[in-house]
Amino acid sequence: MKKIIATLAGVMLLGGSMVMAETKFTPLNFDESNAITPATTTVNTAKATVDNKGNVMLDPAQVTGGRKMQNAILDLDNAQIEVRNKLINYRTNYTNIDQKYKVTKEERRAAKKKIRQAEKQIKNMENAKKKIRKNFEQKNNL
């Protein structure tokens, strides 16, 4: 059974490739009416055909889209430059704010440390006062 299926698949593959080769298969369904045919001119007549046809190149206005298109592209370029300049300004402003933030954060840490030290000193003084009062009371009670 497997041999029969393999044989049929091989025959179909070969038959399909022959059919494709016989018919002018175009995978993208191109029309042959638009196909470019090779020029059949000789070397002697090649100069004459170029002179008769004139300039084969397109007009620059057709290629680039005309002055309006060029002006639109220039306007977009100028706008892009302006936005890039704004971006540079925004970035410098951000770095300035970030530096201020870092400095403020460090100042906050230092102030918090000073507050802790002052609170610790107050606590130590309170403990010292308590110890002194205890000692004084003990001496007076004796």
Handedness of CA 47, 48, 49, 53 (dihedral sign): positive
CA distance 69 to 75: 10
> What is the number of structural domains in the chain?
1
Are 69 and 62 within 8 A, CB to CB? no
128 is in which domain, residue-wise? 2-28+64-141
User: Does residue 53 fall inside a structural domain?
Assistant: no
With respect to residue 56, please indicate whether it lies within any of the assigned structural domains. no
* pLDDT digit string (tens) for the chain, length 142 residues: 777 887 777 777 777 666 555 555 555 555 555 555 555 555 554 444 445 555 556 555 555 567 888 889 999 999 999 999 999 999 999 999 999 999 999 999 999 999 999 999 999 999 999 999 988 888 777 6
130, part of any domain: yes
CA distances from 49 to 19, 34, 42, 64, 92 (A): 41, 21, 10, 27, 64
